[in-house]
Amino acid sequence: MTTGDYKIIITDDGSSSLYSGEYGETMHTTDGAFSEAVLKHVGPSRVIERMEEESSVLDVGMGLGYNALALMQRFCEQRSGASLTVVSLEKDFSFLPLMDTIAFHDPALQSLYGVVKKAAAEGRASLGRMTLQVIRGDARDSVQSLSGSLFDAIFQDPYSPSKNPELWSVDYFRALYSLCRDRCVLTTYSSAPHVRRGMMEAGFIVGRGPGMGMKREGTLASRGGDIVPLSSEDAGLILANPKSVPYRDRDLRSRREDILEQRTREIREMKAKTGRQVR
């Protein structure tokens, strides 16, 4: 089934994902869309295990809402007296009608997905001690509007860096850093050196995140170091590698092409300075 720019595909764990014509990518790994939410975001963030009385999670790139759904499922299972707020950021809701075609085998999960769909359509939905708030618009604006809020975990889940560079720049990571509680853990599927370098320049302590199937490892980042950091040798290799030059977007307003071009320029200048070949 297709809607506008999107086409539904079924991934290896039976859950659906969307292929975006604009980005030329699927929203999730074809190894298993819902499994990815559990294995790359909810699990490694350990936000459920670290749950305090009131916990909040920032979910960047809500998409079909699987990361939020997987988190809510885990929260329901642990039956604590705590409360959970999820703030999801998304700029495109043209795929909203396709969310109605998504079916899970587990009736409890399907019913919980009703809460996610309600929040996507209406901006907010609650169930018991859980609230899901959806902020529409460019996530770069939304993170600035959230200034003063503090989160216990961030699910960083835009499209890939080269397709969606505005949500992978050092300046954007700085804005995320300012929204982190000390023990906040940021999770992402990307292990690209320029992504890790961008996070390091923004102040994050950076470590390895789990991979999934045949895919490379992801990345975990934290403000206060509640993760296993990269070895100093690995961190040194990133800093010495001209290919790790991060994206820059000083006023958080640059166009995608300009962000890509600026990085290419910076790499070229660095090569010229050091005389190094960058393959």
Looking at 44, 63, 161, 198, which residue binds ligand SAM (CB under 6 A)? Answer: 63
Tokens 């079909």, located at residue: 64
Give the contact letters, 14-33, x = binds to ligand SAM (CB under 6 A), - = no.
-------------x------
CB nearer to ligand SAM: pick between 121 and 228: 121
3-state secondary structure of 243: helix
Sole window of 6-14, 76-84, 137-145, 258-266 interacting with ligand SAM (rule: CB under 6 A): 137-145
Question: Is residue 158 at the binding interface for ligand SAM, with CB under 6 A as the rule?
Answer: yes
* CA 160 – CA 165 distance, rounded (Å): 8
Q: Does residue 166 bind ligand SAM (CB under 6 A)?
A: yes
CB of 28 to ligand SAM, least distance (A): 6
Secondary structure (3-state) at 3 = strand
Judged by CB under 6 A, which stretch of 49-57, 159-167, 200-208, 250-258 contacts ligand SAM? Answer: 159-167
Stretch that binds ligand SAM, among 144-152, 161-169, 172-180, 210-218 (CB under 6 A): 161-169
Using the rule CB under 6 A, which residue among 167, 175, 205, 227 binds ligand SAM?
A: 167
Q: Enumerate residues 67-96 that contact ligand SAM by CB under 6 A.
A: 67, 89-92
Closest CA to 140 of 186, 180, 170, 175: 175
* Contacting residues for 135 by C-beta, under 8 A, at least 6 apart: 87, 88, 89, 90, 123, 142, 145, 146
Task: Yes or no: say if 165 and 247 are a contact pair by the CB < 8 Å rule.
Answer: yes
DSSP per position, 123-189: SEEEETTEEEEEEES-HHHHHHHTTT--EEEEEE--S-TTTSGGGSBHHHHHHHHTTEEEEEEEEES
User: Which residue type occupies 97?
Assistant: P
Closest contact distance (angstroms) between CB of 86 and ligand SAM is 11
What residues make contact with ligand SAM under the rule CB under 6 A? 27, 37, 61-67, 89-92, 138-140, 157-159, 164, 166-167
